[in-house]
Structure 1
Amino acid sequence: MLASTLVLIALLCVGVLTKVPYAEMSPGPTTNTLSSVGGKPVLQISGHKTYPTSGHLNMVTVRVTSADTRLNMVEAVYGWLSHDQVVVPHDTLYPDGQTEQQSTQENAEEFSESQESAKVSALRLLHIPFVSHVDVASVLKGSPAEGRLHAGDLILAVDGTGVTRQEQVAQLVTRHKPGQDVTFTVVPAEQAADAKKADKQPTGGREVVVKTATSHDQGKKRAIVGIAAGTDHTFPFSIDIKLADVGGPSAGLMFSLGLVDKLTPGSLTGGTFVAGTGTIDDSGTVGPIGGIAMKLVGARDAGARYFLTPADNCAAAAADTPSGLTLVKVKNISDAKASLDKIRTGDTAGLPRCSAG
């Protein structure tokens, strides 16, 4: 008995002291996008009529161990055995040695982009007009554009040709030979940001000349200036999404639906508790997310009855669905709204559901 006890103690000590290259995921907080947090609405709209809402349109999150944390063997085994936790290889969450700071920055950028796409997709669904602009998304360090163009600059024209789509920028630049000058007509980032805060159209473009260089990536050699073009938008009224300590792109769908609910009469859910997840792009297409199993558990524990599930996550979600939760398959925001209409009217037999396999 004594020998067995000593061996057990030794094994526990080894398990506690031995670090393994794994990380842990568990259900995180879930927030109703129609509610207030810290006394402030999650979705703040001013300058346009809004309507009362009811029920829940909850976005869900996943808690993960930090990039600097290494599970010990005991913690890993416990996580593998637990139904409400998932243990995955550390590199799955933090690839290429990504640090905690880099991960936080990336999540913050993705969260900001998802908010913008949520606004765009909601207004498009409701046929509310707004203005889109091509902008400088990033400038490559050491490139010809460094110091001449800046992230956030709005691009009005290239060589006098007006641009309305981001792909036009590369098309116009590559008409040149390396070493030739390209003339950009831009509104500086600070000036553009001030106009956006005031919900006004940016004005006052200036010309910036950049000499092209030769591309060094794979594929045919071509002229480049070293920028990535993106798209920015000016909305006809103010829309702010306020939610602290959340990152990543997976709340996009639920933010968009929350905006639709606030901007239209009646309640999308009819008072029902609906949760969901999914990225969303400007066209309203819903994309897959990570940690679906943990998000389902979090939604069920919060009281959700229906869960809006990206189509590409359906098989994995249906393989282990928490009891009492109905998975609703969505491909885009129109799908999601149509399903909410069915839930509100009680026509749940017609819901597109997830199936395993």
Structure 2
Amino acid sequence: MPRRTATLLASTLLLIAMLCAGALIEVPYGEMSPGPTVNTLSVHDGDPVLNIKDRPGHKGKPKVYDTSGHLNMTTVRVTGSEYRMTLLGAFTGWLGHDSLVVPYRTLYPEQKSAEEVDEENAEEFTASQESAKVAALKKLGLPVSSHVVVGSVQKGAPAHKRLHAGDVITAVDGNPVGEPESVSKLVTQHKPGERVTFTVVPAAEAKAAQKKGKKPSSRDARKVTVTTTKAKGGRAIVGITTALGHTFPFEIDIKLADIGGPSAGLMFSLGIVDKLTPTDLTGGKFVAGTGTIDDAGQVGEIGGIQMKTVAARQQGAEFFLTPAGNCATAAKDKPEGLTLVKTSSIDDALDSLKKIRKGETDRLTQCKAH
């Protein structure tokens, strides 16, 4: 066999061997890619994403206005917890433009199971909906009252099956509580093994009252006594987390299944404002965006920004409301034809939408790569 032919054959066999090895060798990475985008002003899976209802007997019924254009929330698709990436798959992902290869621990931290990650994402999504409603209604000057609720109960903890997620806590040992932090402070005043008494309105009664636009009533309250246990560091705990719940003047129902995390907060909030005001916020334009939002309307940064801008542009978005903390990263790899608008608050977003619908896009504060 001629030397040149032998060399070529050996090289070909070596390449085949390397490709086979690459297809078999597993590496500790996962992949993020553009996920679905949903117009918060529209219908998804047969139901309005935002359904605003007036409460029975309420004289000041909310006026819900027609809207146009898009206010799309965006998502990131990630590989499942059971997925095991190969070396070849990682190499292909690194070369690709529309995906991002990240360490597996970024998606599924070692100390958390896949179920715990999913549960945490679901809880964050629910909390983001709550904050979106609060921020929107406060911006519109509508009344919102708050109360402390049980956020979650640790399985096997002293409070398990005694307190439940959604229970409204009005007092601890007779002391009224108005902030989530107050509950922890009062519990930790006890020694492990001592009993602590919670005054709570059960979740079912609280939810029924809220649907009518009423605050949870003390008439429905009951006392629940829980024996504390010792946490790391020696402090007393009962195994619950607490959060701030709210009562709204009318029902706002957000329906969007199979979505997790807090990053849709800003777009939900803008969708609510759009439906409750006569001004057509987008002027018919296709606007997408992302960002967490707190009760005060401040916008926070999120993960997977590059994948979300790609997803938005693929669906036809012209403008993308981008959290200020994500601006520099997003601008480094901006999809062609997409304007990245720097956004720090709901006020920033509404001001930008005003410029967009008036055609004053040259006045927008755009993201820049540092």
The normalised TM-score by structure 1 is 0.91
Relative distance call for 1:35 and 1:352 in structure 2 (3 A) is same
Relative distance call for 1:131 and 1:314 in structure 2 (3 A) is same
Q: Which deviates more, 261-270 or 93-102?
A: 93-102
Relative distance call for 1:226 and 1:40 in structure 2 (3 A) is closer
Q: Which deviates more, 4-13 or 40-49?
A: 4-13
Relative distance call for 1:321 and 1:205 in structure 2 (3 A) is same
Percent identity of equivalent pairs: 62
CA distance in 1, matches of 2:121, 2:157: 26
Match of 1:276 in 2: 289
Q: Write out per-residue CA displacement over residues 105-150 of structure 1, whole angstroms, 9 at most, x where no aligned residue.
A: 2222221111111111111111111221111223345554444333
Relative distance call for 1:73 and 1:212 in structure 2 (3 A) is closer
Q: How many residues align?
A: 354
Contact 2:73 2:267 in 1 (8 A): yes
Relative distance call for 1:95 and 1:179 in structure 2 (3 A) is closer
Q: Which deviates more, 185-194 or 144-153?
A: 144-153
Q: Write out per-residue CA displacement over residues 292-317 of structure 1, whole angstroms, 9 at most, x where no aligned residue.
A: 11111111111111111111111111
CA distance in 2, matches of 1:129, 1:181: 37
Relative distance call for 1:6 and 1:97 in structure 2 (3 A) is farther
> Once the 2 structures are TM-superposed, how far is the Cα of residue 223 of structure 1 from its aligned partner?
5.0
Q: Write out per-residue CA displacement over residues 187-213 of structure 1, whole angstroms, 9 at most, x where no aligned residue.
A: 122322333345443222122334555
> Once the 2 structures are TM-superposed, how far is the Cα of residue 265 of structure 1 from its aligned partner?
0.5
| Corresponding position: 1:335 with 2:351 | no
User: What one-letter code is carried by the residue in structure 2 that aligns with 1:90?
Assistant: Y
Match of 2:133 in 1: 119
| Corresponding position: 1:165 with 2:172 | no
SS in 2 for 1:321: coil
User: What one-letter code is carried by the residue in structure 2 that aligns with 1:249?
Assistant: P
Relative distance call for 1:165 and 1:100 in structure 2 (3 A) is closer
SS in 1 for 2:150: strand
CA distance in 2, matches of 1:122, 1:70: 42
SS in 1 for 2:171: strand
CA distance in 1, matches of 2:205, 2:293: 28
Task: Pick the aligned partner of 1:325 from 335, 338, 356.
Answer: 338
CA distance in 2, matches of 1:51, 1:79: 44
Match of 2:5 in 1: none
Contact 1:174 1:223 in 2 (8 A): yes
CA distance in 1, matches of 2:124, 2:27: 29
Match of 2:51 in 1: 44
Match of 1:205 in 2: 221
Contact 1:56 1:272 in 2 (8 A): yes
SS in 1 for 2:110: helix
User: What one-letter code is carried by the residue in structure 2 that aligns with 1:29?
Assistant: P
| Corresponding position: 1:355 with 2:362 | no
User: What one-letter code is carried by the residue in structure 1 that aligns with 2:101?
Assistant: V
Task: Pick the aligned partner of 2:115 from 101, 110, 120.
Answer: 101
Q: Which deviates more, 92-101 or 139-148?
A: 139-148
SS in 1 for 2:325: helix
CA distance in 1, matches of 2:138, 2:353: 18
User: What one-letter code is carried by the residue in structure 1 that aligns with 2:244?
Assistant: T
SS in 1 for 2:36: strand
User: What one-letter code is carried by the residue in structure 1 that aligns with 2:250?
Assistant: F
Task: Pick the aligned partner of 2:244 from 231, 235, 242.
Answer: 231
Match of 1:295 in 2: 308
Match of 2:22 in 1: 15
> Once the 2 structures are TM-superposed, how far is the Cα of residue 230 of structure 1 from its aligned partner?
1.4
User: What one-letter code is carried by the residue in structure 1 that aligns with 2:364?
Assistant: L
Contact 2:231 2:237 in 1 (8 A): no
> Once the 2 structures are TM-superposed, how far is the Cα of residue 66 of structure 1 from its aligned partner?
0.8
Relative distance call for 1:131 and 1:325 in structure 2 (3 A) is same
SS in 1 for 2:320: strand
Match of 2:273 in 1: 260
List gaps (5 residues or longer) in structure 2. 1-7, 55-61
Task: Pick the aligned partner of 1:346 from 341, 359, 363.
Answer: 359
Match of 2:32 in 1: 25
SS in 1 for 2:72: strand
SS in 2 for 1:269: coil
Contact 1:91 1:97 in 2 (8 A): no
Task: Pick the aligned partner of 2:103 from 86, 89, 110.
Answer: 89
List gaps (5 residues or longer) in structure 1. none
| Corresponding position: 1:68 with 2:100 | no
Relative distance call for 1:21 and 1:175 in structure 2 (3 A) is closer
SS in 2 for 1:128: coil
Q: CA RMSD in A?
A: 2.1
CA distance in 2, matches of 1:251, 1:225: 32
| Corresponding position: 1:195 with 2:198 | no
> Once the 2 structures are TM-superposed, how far is the Cα of residue 283 of structure 1 from its aligned partner?
1.8
Contact 1:52 1:266 in 2 (8 A): no
Q: Which deviates more, 154-163 or 25-34?
A: 154-163
User: What one-letter code is carried by the residue in structure 1 that aligns with 2:52?
Assistant: I
